[in-house]
Structure 1
């Protein structure tokens, strides 16, 4: 039996207009929630994060799709863990209010596998 390979996942994250419309104090709470979500992905069992890229200097305004605001590339053990990472957007609270992180940003998980090029 072959060993189960990890999924290679590119988490594409976009900040939406609600963030830009929020007062500064609320934006700071969103940033704290975003940090908690980000660390939560790193802390999921079996997740190996390779790196990230932030597009905030060359992209201005909300991101409703490509190009995204920021990206995180990781190997993830299974699709359930991918779903758990995405669910952090639904469950991570922003400040003491009723809003969760997904009010201010979104995620799309592009899931595939590592591309291995054979040398001739």
Structure 2
């Protein structure tokens, strides 16, 4: 049971396109983009998740993201609990792309913390 006065957890979801995506023939890339769109819609459908903003590096970073920084895109959100953050990450495991899942083509990492309040 969740305490209704509990503050949300601030989450930064960092996602990267992997080499498997770049190895696809042009005719198969559209299916990955369609699945990515479904995954992003799925985030909005997770109860209590409020997306605060997004950043997409695709115009200034070309190619795969190496392990670690930089990532391809970022989603900043407030989530009600750790389980909701896990559910967001799980969308990469469960969103189908043909006979595969999205995690064949992308990876995700979630950073969880609290809002940094800057004193006035």
TM-score category (smaller protein): over 0.9
| CA distance in 1 between partners of 2:55 and 2:118 (Å) | 24
Task: For residues 46-67 of structure 1, give each alpha carbon's deviation from its aligned partner in whole angstroms, at most 9, with x where no partner exists.
Answer: 1110110000111111113210
Cα offset, 1:21, TM superposition: 0.5
Question: SS at the partner of 1:58?
Answer: coil
Verify: 1:83 aligned to 2:86, yes or no: yes
Question: Which runs of structure 2 are paired with 1:24-103 in the superposition (5 Å)?
Answer: 24-64=26-66, 65-95=68-98, 98-103=99-104
Q: Report the alpha carbon displacement of residue 2 of structure 1 after superposing the two structures with TM.
A: 8.4
TM-score, with structure 2 as normaliser: 0.92
**Unaligned ranges ≥5, structure 1:** none
Residue 118 of structure 1 and its aligned partner are, at CA, apart by 2.4
Moved over 6 A (4+): none
- What displacement does 1:25 show? 2.3
Q: Give the aligned partner of residue 8 of structure 1.
A: 10
* Distance apart, 1:14 and its partner CA: 0.1
Count how many residue pairs are aligned between Structure 1 and Structure 2: 117
Q: CA 1:3–1:22 in 2, change beyond 3 Å: closer, same or farther?
A: same
State the partner residue of 1:110: 111
Aligned partners of 1:70 and 1:93: how far apart in 2?
Answer: 20
Q: CA RMSD for the aligned pairs?
A: 1.4
